[in-house]
Structure 1
């Protein structure tokens, strides 16, 4: 009887310490990971807190975002263990397309986001790194269990981020952006959650993981990928894409994520262009795209464009608003365009076009090929940019001044004369 009483008290303590909403599943976590660590319990407590505030249960359709797995400067401990706890506590997972890791630098704070697709309520929980580091250092699991939520988390915020609300009343949300209610991550959280709730594809959301937010630039990259799939698709295993990303913008994160054309694998060549060079290119030039075939040794190439003028016009917006961060327009313009652009994933040709088609020997692309080597401008060879200085306007060299050389010669003669005179009169 005494043993049964002790077991009952132990279960009660677990419910109290871990959190009521998901405490019944703590055994699932233990079965999955063994003895839970401080890091496991951090995510577990965050999930319990959020699910209680959202009034949701495990398995409900909620979106979970975190930078766990990237941030690792918590007393030298990595944070990937949090992911196991989040999956067991909430039922969210990568396979269900509702658990995503937003890329952050290793020294950034550890945080968790829980978004309810029905109510559009969102809970943001940010960890107090100093407190967590103390318990990680000593591996004090039992002591950590006894901490209150406000001792572990420095920010615990709940806000309604319904897209209709943000679009129609941006001034009100802008106050909260300025107050950093989500720890300065407001743009990342609202853009990813709104596009996710709009049934965005997994491949696009994976590119948002790398980019850590969604913006029109990233969306344009996704539409470019969809355009390539229609107009210049990969037709066999011997073919692959290579990208000359000039000019470069956010699009390239979506393109390299989905097409696996990373810089490190020489699938993408990122080159900066001057304003003078860009002016010579077709309006909205978005880079050069190659479909290379190792069997034929030939690459089909296209210079693609993105029609930003049409996008801004159809959205009834001014491109200058993108730079207006003193008011709500900076984030609001991006937010609205994100949702609008998602309507064209099945019709990418509405915004993406081809300025030029050509073929080229595959040996000239990458691996020391001259077409993508430093100092070579492919746009010049394609006749889209002037040959002189690759389109760069330089100041003319200053004309030589003959009198300067005459003066130098005179000074040399005087110096020799003085030296001869001094030597003679010693």
Structure 2
């Protein structure tokens, strides 16, 4: 292989073999490379140096949007995919046990939405199949660069990630920040959307600007479930304003010709319908990815938020919709003080009742 890269692992031979298998050169138009180089660790060495080798041999680059570094855990194998948009063929090469193993497979997006097509691609590509199929085909479609950036972080494209992209776009268009203001996003119920919101709005759990909570009876139950609450905090006045959002999964299904129930088929991930539904819905949303108003809408009027409420909605066990007055509290078994939660205060009340000090 080429030896001018001071890299602990030389991937040039594997790249050249893949190019030869596809019958392409670095001058061939419509090539795209996906890789976890830069994330994977090989024999204790980082792999960001492989990016330079990929760029030189394939002609694809991060700067022109044709080289997409896909986020993976550091303990996953190093891999790359070269995708030919003209034929929809790709070569997938993965480095294990000191050598690359390469597989050529056609990953045409339309075929991937069928059970037989998905099964064949899954057999060839293994656990990276969903990532490769969805990201490569979205790139082929001409998806926006910042949408692909979200897919790199999330390591695949799915309708959940797309919903987060649409929500972030809606927020930017309708709730721009003023002087001294910042966003806090309460993802409740949380789904893949939060990863797109992290990337586009730089809201993260580590910076305490993104909080996620489950809320039963919403996702894949309602056609238009709650999606989350945006709080716009003014650090000068120490006051905030908030609004709850809903996301129209029913419209997603209509445009993609899928059923809401197919997102949770019998057998779960072992059922090809689990994957083909997500692929079909992901591709079905691409023509509308710049039209957030079609899917995202307020689920409440704007409301005021105090510093106490801002801190409270981040706490475990607190329903943010109840805390902020979006919905009425429901009776909670064991909640004796009426605050909508079961806490140590309720235990004390029960103890007092047990010794006859009070009557419930």
TM-score bracket, shorter-length normalisation: 0.7 to 0.9
TM (normalized to structure 2)?
Answer: 0.84
Structure 2: how far apart are the matches of 1:284 and 1:316?
A: 19
- Please state how far the C-alpha of 1:246 moved relative to its aligned partner: 1.0
1:195 aligns to 2:138 (yes or no): yes
Structure 2: how far apart are the matches of 1:279 and 1:71?
A: 34
Alignment of 1:266-415 (within 5 A): 266-275=208-217, 283-324=224-265, 325-361=269-305, 363-364=307-308, 369-381=311-323, 382-386=325-329, 388-389=331-332
2:80 to 91, 112, 119: 112
In 1, are the aligned partners of 2:164 and 2:196 still within 8 Å (CA)?
yes
- Please state how far the C-alpha of 1:304 moved relative to its aligned partner: 0.4
2:52 to 52, 76, 84: 84
Structure 1: how far apart are the matches of 2:223 and 2:106?
A: 43
TM (normalized to structure 1)?
Answer: 0.71
Structure 2: how far apart are the matches of 1:282 and 1:331?
A: 20
In 2, are the aligned partners of 1:46 and 1:112 still within 8 Å (CA)?
no
2:191 to 245, 249, 253: 249
Q: Which runs of 4+ in 1 moved over 6 A?
A: 277-282, 390-393
Describe the SS at the equivalent of 1:197. helix
- Please state how far the C-alpha of 1:371 moved relative to its aligned partner: 3.9
Q: Return 5+ residue gaps in structure 2 as ranges.
A: 333-338, 356-360
Structure 2: how far apart are the matches of 1:82 and 1:279?
A: 41
The 1:111/1:380 distance shift into structure 2, 3 A limit, reads: same
Alignment of 1:106-185 (within 5 A): 106-128=74-96, 130-131=97-98, 152-154=99-101, 156-167=102-113, 170-179=114-123, 181-185=124-128
Structure 1: how far apart are the matches of 2:328 and 2:312?
A: 17
Match of residue 70 from structure 1:
39
Structure 1: how far apart are the matches of 2:331 and 2:19?
A: 63
In 2, are the aligned partners of 1:288 and 1:302 still within 8 Å (CA)?
yes
2:70 to 91, 95, 102: 102
In 1, are the aligned partners of 2:224 and 2:250 still within 8 Å (CA)?
no
Query: Which structure dedicates a bigger proportion of its chain to helix?
Result: 1
Structure 2: how far apart are the matches of 1:165 and 1:280?
A: 28
In 1, are the aligned partners of 2:223 and 2:249 still within 8 Å (CA)?
no
Describe the SS at the equivalent of 1:240. strand
Structure 2: how far apart are the matches of 1:292 and 1:75?
A: 46
- Count of residue correspondences: 336
Match of residue 168 from structure 2:
225
Match of residue 149 from structure 1:
none
Q: Return 5+ residue gaps in structure 1 as ranges.
A: 1-17, 19-25, 132-151, 406-426
- Please state how far the C-alpha of 1:291 moved relative to its aligned partner: 2.4
Give CA-to-partner distance per residue, 1:309-357, whole Å, 9 cap, x none: 2222332222222234444322111111111112222321111111113
